Structure 1
Amino acid sequence: MADYDNEQIKDVEVGIIGGGSMGGGMTLLFSSPASSNSVVGFFDYDKEQAEALLKRARDEDDVPAEHVHGFSSAEKLLKAFKPNEPRIIVFSLPHGKPVDDVLSDLLPKMDKGDIIIDCGNEWYEDTNRRLGEAAEKGIHYIGCGVSGGYQAARRGPSMSAGGDKEAYDKVEHLLAKWAAKDKDGKPCVAYLGPGGSGNYVKMIHNGIEHAQLSILCEIWSLLRHQAGLSNDEIADIFESWNAEGRLSDNYLIEIGYKSLRFKKGDGIFNKKGVVEDIADKVVQDVDNTEGTGTWSVAEMATRHFAAPAMAASHCLRVISARRGERDRVLENLKVPQPKTDQPFVKDVPAFVEDCRKATYAGILGAFVQGLGIITKASDEEKWGVSLETCLAIWRAGCIVRSGGIADLLQPLLAKDPQCKNTLFIPEIAHELSGTYDGLKNVCRVALETDAVAPALAVTLDWLKQCGGKELPTNFQEMQMDYFGHHQYDLKSENAPDPVKGPHHTEFAPA
């Protein structure tokens, strides 16, 4: 029977600290015979949350209640482990200070050879630091990104591990049982490299996720308002995209069409769909409960690798969050509002096809941009992360699951594992160029109707910039040389590398 603070328990095999939606799901997953069938002990500071998790363990048919034990302190949890075996402790905690607080309390009580697996969304440099702190005590530390939301935490997530390779080898058999399985039954977990590489890859996974979320909400809005389609009609369109082709097996498109068909929700009953009554504000970045989007955009800038879809999606989320400020600014700006009173699009089937191409451009572009950041970081940090492996563990149990796109990217990256920019691969560049006209038409409709479509717009411009023979930045370079003596290259010199040029014109004497 799932119990609390039972001092007789001495057979715990895995401990979990954090019993929230993710930690609670993993507690039930790990204890299930369908997974590792482990005896799990957990500790959470919130006793009500702990009791709720124990009730779930008692109520769920596929969880042996005698496999789940709650404890009121980390010390009591540690004492409940099987004797004479390395203890395995899994963290499922909010990022930052909560982890440091738990770690400072835990390390003095742990034994040499014990293993910590941090399964939270963590800033990779914090993981690097904690690895060192744990190693000083002889404790192994793994930073392991976990994706897929609370449903995957319960049924099997995608897991990106990094850090202590010796420790990973010791727990790999457990991780393989816990992780989601792809269509061929392979576990969606891998050791990606030393240090904070696992948390880093999960962070960029979330940046890719945010870009895709923006692309899809913009496409939904254009189909709903500019094409005049109902939510049920849009759901049917999304379902057809998800059934075949490069947008097939896409998690966000799948949950998009499923949720669009909901007419009832918490506080909502609307025959047109619950989406009509949900406030247009995403607050998780602004309230700091979700750090990975902010970190991804910061890494884009720090690593000097352009990922405009991530940046645009982040800005949209941040602006949306401050609904009260938007209402005040609305009165001052008085800009035209999106034209939604009557459908703008005349040829709806053609526009739907353009939207499919635009969606493909945005989602594939987000992968290209995110994988580029991972490559840059891996080279600079000397992690040796394999992009092909990243795509393999994103096949199931994660938010950016996109089977059709993985079928394109994974074999190409397996052939060219040292590729520094996936747009160097002709097949990938060709796929994006094939979306250009459709994406351009969708952006034209958005522009002409004053619709909000930032991630789509920057994806189009990103393609123009990446594929542009000439950019207008020679004018910018001239001005920078004028005021800052920044110097420049000459077109005739064909200088391809991002290094300072040798030439300076004295436009005005000092």
Structure 2
Amino acid sequence: MADIDNDKVQDVEFGIVGSGSMGAGMTLLFSEHGSKIGCYDYDGDAVQALMDEAKKDDSVDESLVHGFTSLEKLVNAFPKADSKSDTSSGAENEERSKKPRVFVLSLPHGKPVDGILDELLPLLEKGDMIIDGGNEWWEETERRQRKTKEKGVEWIGMGVSGGYQAARHGPSMSPGCSPEAWDYLKPYLEKWAAKAPNGEPCVLHMGGGGAGHYVKMIHNGIEHAHLSILCEIRSLLKHQLGYTNDEISVLFESWWKEGPLRGNFLVGIGYKGLKFKDGDGLHEEEGIVEGMEDKVTQDVDKSEGTGTWSTKEIGERHVAAPAIAASHQLRIISADKFERLEVAKNLNVPQPSEAEEKKLDKEKKDELLKTIHSAVYGAMLSAFVQGLNIITRASKDEKWGISLSNCLKIWRAGCIIQSDAIAEFLLPLVEKFPPSEPLNLLRAAPEIAQELARTYEALKKVCLIALETDAVAPALSASLEYLKAVGGKNLPTDFEEMELDYFGHHNYDLKSEPGKGHEKGNYHTEFSRMPGV
């Protein structure tokens, strides 16, 4: 293995900028598949640690990993345009000289990316490519695409899903770029990507512009809803119904192995995590989770923007996704435990208590567990529907042409929202929809609505237990309220419409003259002219 910043290296195939957990994982993954990688980080210790890891990893040829603390030296480590080889024909040399230099950024969103771009862009030439493999707000991606286009450099916004372990062993990827860039990168990305159960690589072209980062952003919004649904149901099982963590682990494992939550990644790691003992003598019997503080700081500490951005999109695209929004709100509330405890003193509301259902006999408890299983499935399926509805609306607005079936295909492995049974149910239903018009999936695909309807009573039962015991269950409750509202033939908003017209002259429509769409109403009443008003 060469030394860091070795000037003699001139045959790097890909440069990876950022040697943190994600960048390091991708470096080892790409090199395991035979690509010569130049890994860059300003932190020499991080680069050295990665090179040492490559040396220890039996599946990696250490000679394919070269470290750099100088961006300029990394750029120079690629083959020169006029490179010659005694063993190659002139035609082969010409083809080699035309290959773009491709850089993969694995950096926190925002200013760090702009800083690297400002340093890297002057060193590049027409035809080179930069892949932003971090999470990023889609408009920032498109701004950088306009900037690099002036020099003929392609900026690709690519979501990389699955966390640091998937980055090492095969992630789900969602590139947004030109068709030409996709054609060049496709064989490499397909080689590196996670493979679905049928062997298909979990990477597909999402569209142009910011489409790739947008799909990853909403993937994370769905992920946040699923995380909230599961943490809420685990708490209810333990604290309201009296199950131990080991018993819940066995239950989650059964859900993961068969039924509508089969192959759900979060259910899978949930049952494994609940078994984990921390070994410090404090929680060895109950599991490590019992010693963890009940706060999530992601989003609030601005290290992770996708939850905030997903919630922003819900509002600005005018798409109903209450479970995604509720999960984000729970994170915000949980983030500052000190503040929350002070608020709890002031509010002095009842704390969660045991449920009457805890006293049920085994037969009735087993039946209740089936109900809970159905409720969790309904809530998770609902979150998928909510997320896909956002994507299809944005795709229409921005003219990206995102295929919902492509989204589901890349989510079959290597990502956090992998859910085999749900994907198998949804995929055939959405494949018939062209990537052109915004959809309400519950209207366009009656089969999905009918499937959710079958979970309604179960979800209602679970939310009733939470309500009666003062248990915290915002995402589960939002999922139920979503089904109640979108399935409501008459909503209470007629009264709201009256008051809006009363104080704001907002107009209204009449029930006797129903119309499609959401245009402003045709009628107005001057309430101030009414007697006694």
User: With structure 2 as the length reference, what TM-score do the two structures score?
Assistant: 0.93
Distance 1:332 1:141 in 2: 51
Residue matched to 1:102: 116
Greater mean alpha carbon deviation, residues 492-501 or residues 433-442: 492-501
Partner amino acid for 1:29? Answer: L
Residue matched to 1:352: 369
Residue matched to 1:454: 474
Instruction: Describe how 1:79-228 pairs up with structure 2 within 5 A.
Output: 79-84=76-81, 85-228=99-242
Partner amino acid for 2:431? Answer: A
Instruction: Describe how 1:229-240 pairs up with structure 2 within 5 A.
Output: 229-240=243-254
**Structure 1 pair 252/316, CA: closer, same or farther in 2 (3 Å)?**
same
CA contact (8 A) 1:413 1:419 kept: no
Distance 2:366 2:380 in 1: 21
Cα distance per residue 1:28-67 (max 9 Å; x no partner) = 10000xx3x1010011122222221111111111111111
Residue matched to 2:46: 49
Cα distance per residue 1:142-183 (max 9 Å; x no partner) = 111000000000000000011222112111111111110111
Residue matched to 2:439: 420
Deviation, structure 1 residue 266: 8.0
Partner amino acid for 1:163? Answer: C
Deviation, structure 1 residue 111: 1.1
1:73 is aligned, of 65, 70, 74, to 70
Residue matched to 2:310: 296
Tell me the secondary structure at the aligned position of residue 190 of structure 1.
Answer: coil
Partner amino acid for 1:423? Answer: L
Residue matched to 1:367: 384
Residue matched to 2:396: 379
Residue matched to 2:291: 277
Distance 1:292 1:506 in 2: 45
**Structure 1 pair 499/123, CA: closer, same or farther in 2 (3 Å)?**
same
Greater mean alpha carbon deviation, residues 209-218 or residues 104-113: 104-113
Q: Percent identity?
A: 58
**Structure 1 pair 240/475, CA: closer, same or farther in 2 (3 Å)?**
same
Residue matched to 1:480: 500
Tell me the secondary structure at the aligned position of residue 160 of structure 1.
Answer: strand
**Structure 1 pair 159/279, CA: closer, same or farther in 2 (3 Å)?**
same
CA contact (8 A) 2:241 2:355 kept: no
Residue matched to 1:493: 513
CA contact (8 A) 1:75 1:109 kept: yes
Deviation, structure 1 residue 350: 2.1
Distance 2:287 2:52 in 1: 33
Distance 1:401 1:2 in 2: 39
Gaps of 5+ in 2: 82-98
- Number of residue-to-residue matches in the alignment: 507
- The answer to whether residue 490 in structure 2 is matched with residue 470 in structure 1 is yes
Instruction: Describe how 1:242-257 pairs up with structure 2 within 5 A.
Output: 242-257=256-271
Tell me the secondary structure at the aligned position of residue 508 of structure 1.
Answer: helix
Gaps of 5+ in 1: none
- The answer to whether residue 272 in structure 2 is matched with residue 258 in structure 1 is yes
Distance 1:435 1:342 in 2: 22
CA contact (8 A) 1:227 1:348 kept: no
Cα distance per residue 1:235-264 (max 9 Å; x no partner) = 111111111122101000000001011012
**Structure 1 pair 265/296, CA: closer, same or farther in 2 (3 Å)?**
farther
Residue matched to 2:10: 10
**Structure 1 pair 165/327, CA: closer, same or farther in 2 (3 Å)?**
same
Partner amino acid for 1:287? Answer: D
Distance 2:359 2:488 in 1: 30
Residue matched to 1:38: 35
CA contact (8 A) 1:2 1:67 kept: no
Cα distance per residue 1:436-455 (max 9 Å; x no partner) = 11110000000000000000
- Structure of larger gyration radius: 2
Residue matched to 1:287: 301
Tell me the secondary structure at the aligned position of residue 242 of structure 2.
Answer: coil
Deviation, structure 1 residue 225: 1.2
CA contact (8 A) 2:246 2:275 kept: yes
Deviation, structure 1 residue 190: 0.6
Distance 1:335 1:212 in 2: 27
User: With structure 1 as the length reference, what TM-score do the two structures score?
Assistant: 0.97
CA contact (8 A) 1:3 1:54 kept: no
Deviation, structure 1 residue 343: 6.8
Deviation, structure 1 residue 500: 0.6
Cα distance per residue 1:83-112 (max 9 Å; x no partner) = 223211001110011111110111111011
| RMSD of equivalent CA atoms | 1.5
Deviation, structure 1 residue 496: 2.7
